[in-house]
Amino acid sequence: MANGSFPSHFDGSISFGPQEQLRGYFGRDVLKGLVSGIDDFLAVGQRYGSRSLGPALLGGFMWLDDQELLDRISAFPAACVVITKQQRGKYQQARIDKLKLLAEQGPGFPARALPELADMYFREDGQPPVVGPGSHLPSPRIPTLRTIGYRKAGNELVPILHTKMVLLGELWWHDEDPLGGAADVIGFRPQRLWLGSANGTTSSRSNLEFGLWLDDTALLREAKRFLAEVIRHSEILDPDSSHFEPELTEPNYDDDAFAEYLGRRFRDEGESPC
């Protein structure tokens, strides 16, 4: 046995569920199970129908730096992963720098595909955008990598995002709204969930960890809701603020402008010969 490493006796995997289509991993390097599960999911391209926009990924980790996992995230047409806001320091900055390219050039995720984000927009100069009659605010595309929470300073403990989860699914589109009117509607359908103990880090591959692929419908639905809320309350990869300051917000509606617009409409309709 190499110095400072665990023996292989801990390592194991299991198939379970109907037709044993689900997998669980225990011991060292359980990230290989996460990566291989993502590969399998991406390989089954025929799953997506004519109204599909392709596979998508949501995730939440305390920390993320494993290159294989980063490469898989970037392979999705749509992806967003949130990590705990990192401390400032030379070591932490080097890790952040490794993620910047994916944060800036990664595929991102369309906010309107998640109901929790459908009416959310990025702040403008720190303030909610103002919406009035005729305003058109395009729904944002959330960057691939985000952070959430508080930045630890010294030995003071702060609440953190401590999840290790990845949700795989499909983006779909439709040309009708729920009432049958013409619309451009998209959504996210979750299909497979990874839950485990391992962070998305290269160092976690040496630890004794576990990870499971699951597809229970209720679990998928709640994981989707939870991750949507995490994204809703997230910030850029390395924000200046050390406090919890979500970047997405609901807009401010210009009530006076709307009242004036509606009053004008009513006056015009009253003068109409019709």
Q: How many CB atoms lie within 10 A of CB 262?
A: 11
Token pair in block for residue 90 = 């030379």
In-domain check, residue 215 = yes
Asked whether residue 188 is assigned to any structural domain, the reply reads yes
Average pLDDT over residues 109-134: 87
Domains held by the chain: number: 1
Q: Which of the four pLDDT bands, split at 50, 70 and 90, describes residue 154?
A: confident
Q: Which domain holds residue 117?
A: 10-271
| Secondary structure of residue 249 in the 3-state scheme | strand
Quick check: 249 and 233 in contact, CB under 8 A?
no
CB distance 170 to 41 below 8 Å: no
Following DSSP, what letter does each residue of 128-142 receive, concatenated? Answer: PPEE-TT---PPPEE
Residue 152 confidence class, pLDDT cut points 50, 70, 90: confident
Calpha distance 198→204 (Å, rounded) = 6
Matching residue, tokens 């406090």: 243
Which residue is it, tokens 């109204």? Answer: 51
Exposure string of 211-249, with b = 16+ CB inside 10 Å and e = fewer, is bbbbeeeeebeebbebbbebbbbbbebbeeeeeeeebbb
pLDDT at 176 over 80: no
Radius of gyration over alpha carbons of the chain, in Å? Answer: 22
Residue 244, in any domain of the structure: yes
Whichever domain contains 31, its CATH number is 3.30.870.10
Scanning 44-130, the segments in alpha helix (DSSP H) are 67-74, 90-105
Q: Residue range 111-126: average pLDDT?
A: 91
In a domain, 4, yes or no: no
Any domain includes 92:
yes
Q: For the residues 67-75, what does the mean pLDDT come to?
A: 96
Q: Please check whether residue 2 lies inside any domain of the structure.
A: no
Confidence of residue 169 (pLDDT cuts 50, 70, 90): very high
* Alpha carbons 25 and 214: distance in angstroms, whole number: 12
Residue 91 has which token pair? 């070591």
Percentage of residues of the chain with pLDDT beyond 70? 87
Tell me if 3 is assigned to some domain. no
**What is the pTM assigned to this prediction?**
0.88
> Where do the H-state alpha helices sit in the chain?
31-43, 67-74, 90-105, 217-232, 255-271
CA geometry: angle 63, 69, 72, nearest 5 deg: 135
The tokens for 242 are: 């050390």
Q: Is the pLDDT of residue 157 over 80?
A: yes
Domain-embedded: residue 1: no
Across 169-179, average pLDDT: 80
